[in-house]
Amino acid sequence: DTGVSQNPRHKITKRGQNVTFRCDPISEHNRLYWYRQTLGQGPEFLTYFQNEAQLEKSRLLSDRFSAERPKGSFSTLEIQRTEQGDSAMYLCASSLSLRMEGKLFFGSGTQLSVL
């Protein structure tokens, strides 16, 4: 068990470019979450996968954002035509249990800076 892994740790891009982040959850975890966190704020939910099915998407997830989880293993989050407002920390989390007390295990995040 190596924990939740996210790559890259940091990404600097120019406005208008596309970026893709990767998340590798804990191997036996079938539930995967993406959150976005801006400086000084709490994480905001973006989307949720159960195995390969994307079951919930936040209204924060505009058409420029797409997430996938092929084969129910790793997940990718792509942002097209990046804007300066997309600058944030993108956190991935996974869990095994959907019981009320099922905690989320988080990765260290990908810090995106859009210039």
Partner 1 sequence: AQKITQTQPGMFVQEKEAVTLDCTYDTSDPSYGLFWYKQPSSGEMIFLIYQGSYDQQNATEGRYSLNFQKARKSANLVISASQLGDSAMYFCAMRGQNDYKLSFGAGTTVTVRA
Residues that bind partner 1 (CB under 8 A): 31, 33, 40-45, 48, 50, 55-56, 89, 91, 93, 98, 100-101, 103-109, 111
Amino acid at 30: N
Residue 89 C-beta: closest distance to partner 1, Å: 7
Residue 16 C-beta: closest distance to partner 1, Å: 26
110, β-bridge pairs: 90
* 54 C-beta neighbours (distance < 10 Å), count: 16
> Do the beta carbons of residue 35 and residue 45 sit within 8 Å?
yes
Residue 42 C-beta: closest distance to partner 1, Å: 4
Q: 74 vs 106, which CB is nearer to partner 1?
A: 106
Q: d(Cα 22, Cα 88) in Å, to the nearest integer?
A: 15
